[in-house]
Structure 1
Amino acid sequence: MTITLAVLDMAGTTVADDGLVERAFTDAIGAVGVSERDDRFPAMLDHVRRTMGQSKIVVFRALLPEAEARQANAAFEAAYGRLVKAGHCEPVPGAEQAIKDLRAAGVKVALTTGFARPTQDAIIAALGWQDLADIALTPADAGRGRPFPDMVLTAVLRLGVDDVREVAVVGDTPSDVVSGLRAGASVAAGVLTGAGVAADFEAVGATHVLESVRDLPSLLTRL
């Protein structure tokens, strides 16, 4: 099966995270009165780590009542945006070239995220990636975020892919891999540049484990 669409996660996969999510979470949870000294904080941070890659509003809803979850989510997006604007945003080494190589080979590329649209746009602008991919999607664009297959299937529909088996999904969390498997992608690969480790990906049935997204073009030539 020839791959005609690659759906790539951003933070931790194509964009270096370097702890930015946890820093933004600390600010966000503080906005609703939970400091790092609060007894609830360690368990909340552990939940954030376990749900990396998922829609952030969904993560906050698991931790807080609805009104506070919305407040924390807005504070998270604002804090992450400030970090990006302050220069704390770099591509994973080799990611940009990998995307260019994929598109040169006729593979369409979708960038996906668990962040809201303003944060995704800020990251893309900071990296100068406005024209790098064919499409960029957030959970709000698709209906639900990872681990659901919605963003993958939205990319399939919007980019006119004929068969879900022509899709490769790549990310740094088990949620990325599960979303690809649920969508019917032939490749649902985990990368080791972010939150996940090989055992995490193997546990959810990843088709491949890659050191980095930069290894994806060569993998696809071997399929």
Structure 2
Amino acid sequence: MAGTTVADDGLVERAFAGAARVLGAGPGTPAHHRMLEHVRATMGESKISVFRHLADGDEELARHANAAFEREYGELVAQGHCAPVPGAREAVEELCAAGRTVVLTTGFARATQDAILDALGWRALVALTLCPADTGPAGRGRPYPDLVLAALLRTGAVDDVRRVAVAGDTAYDMRTGVRAGAGAVVGVLTGAHGARELRGAGASAVLDSVAGLPALLNGLETDGPQPGEPGSDERQSGGAGAGRPEPGGSGPGGPVTPS
């Protein structure tokens, strides 16, 4: 969600301050700088996985650091530092109106995801939201395929993972979509990573923002070239053909999982 449908505006880095204190890395220290660089490099990864790395495998310390991070992030959201990416809500509503199933996923804990949904008034926007803990006992987030596969299994929207579309702002989102076998893996330029990083991680298309996703998916359901094929424009922000696939068709019909 953050960076894809929700504007981040540096909230992750600001919330990291609390976690850094738990990890013994005070502001301005070499350790703090090193840890912050790792946080930046792993944007999109499950947050508990990030803190396990920073805690050198100390599970208890990692959980304390993650709890501090989630608490600080939640406080920032409660203070009003949370806004949707322009056009994100409208894009989700358009996708739903077209009969697609939209699932919002995150690397945050459920409490933080719920705080974001409440702050934006998005509780009723989609039928399903997922966090790593929702994927099973292991609670694996990105870059594992679990969130995408859980969305498919829980919604039952389609019978082929190739008809699932994944959208996100990080390389980890792209790897998740590729590993899950999604038919469309779409990067957006409103978050952590640029077009080169997104394509390098497997993006089949890169958009200026998620606002262009409905038009892109409509275009993929026509007979035109697919992203990456000759004649296609891999960086699109709208303006494509419309139409929905017949049962068994090749276009990504849903669910759509903006990360």
Common topology (TM > 0.5): yes
Taking the aligned partners of 1:108 and 1:140, their CA distance within structure 2 comes to 21
In the other structure, the counterpart of 1:6 is none
In the other structure, the counterpart of 1:46 is 37
Worse-matched range after superposition: 80-89 or 64-73: 64-73
Taking the aligned partners of 2:188 and 2:86, their CA distance within structure 1 comes to 13
Unaligned runs of 5+ in 2: 221-259
Taking the aligned partners of 1:43 and 1:209, their CA distance within structure 2 comes to 30
Alignment of 1:20-99 (within 5 A): 20-64=11-55, 65-99=58-92
Q: How many residues align?
A: 214
Deviation at 1:173, TM superposition (A): 0.2
User: 1:74-127 CA distances to partner (integer Å, 9 max, x unpaired)?
Assistant: 000000000000000000000000000000001100000000000000000000
SS in 2 for 1:59: helix
Q: Which amino acid aligns with 2:21?
A: G
Alignment partner of 1:152 is 2:143:
no
Deviation at 1:217, TM superposition (A): 0.2
Q: Which amino acid aligns with 2:147?
A: M
User: 1:175-210 CA distances to partner (integer Å, 9 max, x unpaired)?
Assistant: 001100111111111100000100101111210011
Deviation at 1:38, TM superposition (A): 2.0
SS in 1 for 2:185: strand
In the other structure, the counterpart of 2:171 is 174
SS in 2 for 1:194: coil
Taking the aligned partners of 2:10 and 2:51, their CA distance within structure 1 comes to 18
Worse-matched range after superposition: 66-75 or 170-179: 66-75
SS in 2 for 1:40: helix
Taking the aligned partners of 1:66 and 1:145, their CA distance within structure 2 comes to 16
User: 1:129-151 CA distances to partner (integer Å, 9 max, x unpaired)?
Assistant: 01101210000101310001000
Identical aligned residues as a percent: 60
Larger RCO (alpha carbons 8 Å, 6+ apart): 1
Taking the aligned partners of 1:55 and 1:202, their CA distance within structure 2 comes to 21
More helix by share: 1
Q: Which amino acid aligns with 1:22?
A: E
Taking the aligned partners of 1:107 and 1:91, their CA distance within structure 2 comes to 21
Deviation at 1:165, TM superposition (A): 0.8
Moved over 4 A (4+): none
Taking the aligned partners of 2:209 and 2:93, their CA distance within structure 1 comes to 15
Deviation at 1:39, TM superposition (A): 1.7
Selected match of 2:199 from 197, 202, 207: 202
Taking the aligned partners of 1:151 and 1:96, their CA distance within structure 2 comes to 21
Alignment of 1:92-107 (within 5 A): 92-107=85-100
Unaligned runs of 5+ in 1: 1-9
Higher alpha-carbon Rg: 2
Taking the aligned partners of 2:99 and 2:181, their CA distance within structure 1 comes to 21
In the other structure, the counterpart of 2:128 is 135
Taking the aligned partners of 1:202 and 1:37, their CA distance within structure 2 comes to 34
Taking the aligned partners of 1:54 and 1:21, their CA distance within structure 2 comes to 12
Taking the aligned partners of 1:149 and 1:11, their CA distance within structure 2 comes to 18
Selected match of 2:216 from 216, 219, 222: 219
In the other structure, the counterpart of 1:121 is 114
Alignment partner of 1:12 is 2:9:
no
Taking the aligned partners of 2:186 and 2:173, their CA distance within structure 1 comes to 8
Question: Cα RMSD (Å) of the superposition?
Answer: 0.8
